[in-house]
């Protein structure tokens, strides 16, 4: 087996354990999963445009973003991604000090949009939460290859650990509270396209939060259908979600004298994008897909068991930032926000049909709950 796997699993498959046993079947399935993931990584490994090693020469466009007069000491792979090539750059400054930078790159027009969106998103986050975000340096296009683009920021050493619920909530609430009400247009959206992994989202400015969330979700649903093809039952669920569930659970946030002060949303706060720093007790967040929106939207990712954040992160967050009114709708609003990540996974991992089925199941569950529990406004109408 040309893949990394726990030794006991390989040993189990190689022994005389009956093939009919559940343990054997589980081991085989898990080994197959590990190998398929490795194969997917190998097939999708992005083009590495930089020379790897010591005292190498980087592209002029990259050098132009680094401190004037610095000397490149080394370039080494850093991290692993299906969508971008990532490296750590170590340089010696003119004063003799050592500085470290992180660079990621991608090709094509989408790569350019991704790198620009990353820079603008990280720059916005750094403005309001500099203690939690690597300092952005810039983005650009290679001088020697007009089809390859890059983003550059300071390098922050982090532990590859699951963040604590308290740490996660502290970092996220710091970002939200420091940016609350400071949208440059006082609307919902962002001034450039941003991407969840390599998936673009619709950030067009909108004065209505309900309408903005509908446009973001519709853009993801449309991409899901283009990749998978039409599915009548799922299409009906999507339509009900867009036309009924979103108005039911997000509309009341902006009715009866209520309003939302837009804050800066990271939008992709799974544990791979928010990690403990090695130099302090603080968490570092990165790879943002930022926009200005309702603060509770960043809690949607906690609902997905895949990310191992769960209710503890939500509870800790709500100790710092109160629930929006109507508070009785909070759990269903959270389900509405979580749907974004179910759609995203269905798009990203389109070869695994399980994720599209999860999307359908979650849509059906929310719609059934909505239909069995009318809103306070609906009840008042019938009194």
Q: For the beta carbon of residue 46, count every other beta carbon within 10 angstroms.
A: 18
* Rounded distance between C-alpha atoms, residue 70 and residue 67, angstroms: 6
Q: Which long-range contacts (CB under 8 A, 24 or more apart) does 255-261 make?
A: 255/377, 256/377, 258/324, 258/325, 260/188, 260/209, 260/294, 260/324, 261/180, 261/181
Name which of 34-48, 129-143, 321-335 the model is least confident about: 34-48
CATH 3.30.930.10 fits 165-381, yes or no: no
pLDDT above 60 for 9: no
Query: For the chain, how far is it from start to end, CA to CA, in angstroms?
Result: 67
Query: What stretch of H or E contains 76?
Result: strand 71-77
pLDDT above 60 for 42: no
Q: Tokens in use for 1?
A: 């087996």
Helices marked H in 162-231: 165-179, 209-228
Mean pLDDT of the chain: 89
* Rounded distance between C-alpha atoms, residue 110 and residue 117, angstroms: 10
pLDDT attached to residue 378: 58
Q: For the beta carbon of residue 151, count every other beta carbon within 10 angstroms.
A: 25
pLDDT attached to residue 237: 98
Range(s) within the chain of domains with CATH label 3.30.200.20: 53-154
Q: Which residues of 65-96 are buried (b: 16+ CB within 10 A; e: fewer)?
A: bbeeebebeebeebeebebbbbbbbbbeeeee
Are the CB atoms for 90 and 231 separated by under 8 Å? no
* Rounded distance between C-alpha atoms, residue 195 and residue 172, angstroms: 19
| Nearest CA-CA partner of 303 in 327, 344, 329, 335 | 335
Domain 53-154 belongs to what topology? Phosphorylase Kinase; domain 1 (3.30.200)
Q: Are strands 98-107 and 85-92 parallel, antiparallel or unpaired?
A: antiparallel
Task: Give per-residue pLDDT as tens, 255-266.
Answer: 999 999 999 999
Residue 45: pLDDT band by 50, 70, 90 thresholds? low
* Rounded distance between C-alpha atoms, residue 341 and residue 305, angstroms: 11
pLDDT above 60 for 383: no
Residue 376: pLDDT band by 50, 70, 90 thresholds? low
pLDDT above 50 for 267: yes
Query: 69 — alpha (psi -120 to 50), left (phi > 0) or beta?
Result: left
pLDDT attached to residue 375: 67
From the number of C-beta atoms within 10 Å of its C-beta (0-12, 13-18, 19+), residue 158 rates as middle
pTM of the model: 0.85
pLDDT attached to residue 51: 85
Name which of 268-272, 282-286, 372-376 the model is least confident about: 372-376
Q: Is the peptide bond before 326 cis (omega within 30 degrees of 0)?
A: yes
pLDDT attached to residue 10: 41
* Rounded distance between C-alpha atoms, residue 203 and residue 219, angstroms: 10
Q: Tokens in use for 31?
A: 């080994």
Which string of DSSP letters, residue by residue, matches 296-328?
GGGGGGGG-GGGS-HHHHHHHHHHHSPPPSSGG
The sheet with strand 136-141 has its strands ordered as: 53-54, 71-77, 85-92, 98-107, 148-154, 136-141
* Helices (runs of H) and strands (runs of E) counted in the chain: 12, 12
Are the CB atoms for 188 and 207 separated by under 8 Å? yes
Range(s) within the chain of domains with CATH label 3.90.1200.10: 165-381
């Amino acid at each position: 087996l040309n893949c990394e796997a726990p030794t006991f699993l390989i040993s189990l498959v190689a022994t005389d354990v009956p093939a009919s046993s559940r343990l054997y079947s589980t081991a085989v399935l898990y080994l197959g999963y590990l190998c398929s993931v490795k194969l997917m990584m190998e097939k999708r490994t992005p083009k590495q445009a930089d020379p790897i090693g010591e005292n190498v020469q980087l592209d002029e466009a990259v050098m132009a973003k680094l401190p004037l007069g610095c000397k490149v000491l080394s370039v080494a792979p850093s991290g692993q991604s299906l969508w971008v090539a990532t490296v750590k750059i170590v340089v010696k400054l003119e004063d003799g000090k050592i500085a470290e930078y992180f660079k990621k790159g991608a090709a094509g027009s989408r790569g350019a949009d991704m790198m620009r969106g990353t820079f603008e998103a990280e720059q916005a986050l750094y403005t309001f939460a500099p203690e939690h975000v690597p300092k952005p340096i810039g983005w650009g296009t290679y001088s020697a290859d007009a089809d390859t683009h890059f983003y550059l920021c300071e390098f922050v050493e982090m532990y590859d650990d699951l963040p604590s619920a308290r740490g996660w909530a502290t970092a996220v609430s710091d970002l939200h509270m420091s940016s609350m009400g400071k949208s440059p247009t006082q609307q919902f959206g962002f001034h450039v396209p941003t991407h969840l992994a390599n998936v673009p989202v619709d950030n067009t400015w909108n004065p209505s939060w309900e309408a903005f969330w509908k446009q973001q979700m519709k853009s993801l649903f449309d991409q899901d259908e283009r990749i998978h093809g039409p599915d009548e039952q799922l299409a009906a669920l999507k339509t009900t979600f867009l036309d009924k569930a979103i108005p039911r659970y997000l509309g009341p946030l902006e009715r009866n004298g209520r309003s939302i002060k837009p804050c800066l949303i990271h939008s992709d706060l799974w544990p791979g994008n928010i990690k403990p720093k090695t130099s302090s007790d603080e968490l570092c967040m990165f790879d943002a897909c930022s926009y200005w929106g309702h603060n509770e939207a960043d809690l949607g990712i906690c609902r997905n068991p895949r990310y191992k954040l769960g209710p503890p992160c939500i509870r800790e967050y709500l100790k710092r930032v109160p629930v929006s009114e109507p508070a009785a709708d909070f759990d269903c609003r959270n389900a509405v926000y979580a749907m974004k990540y179910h759609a995203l996974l269905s798009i990203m991992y389109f070869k695994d049909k399980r994720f599209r089925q999860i999307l359908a199941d979650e849509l059906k569950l929310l719609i059934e709950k909505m239909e069995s529990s009318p809103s306070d406004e609906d009840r008042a109408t019938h009194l």
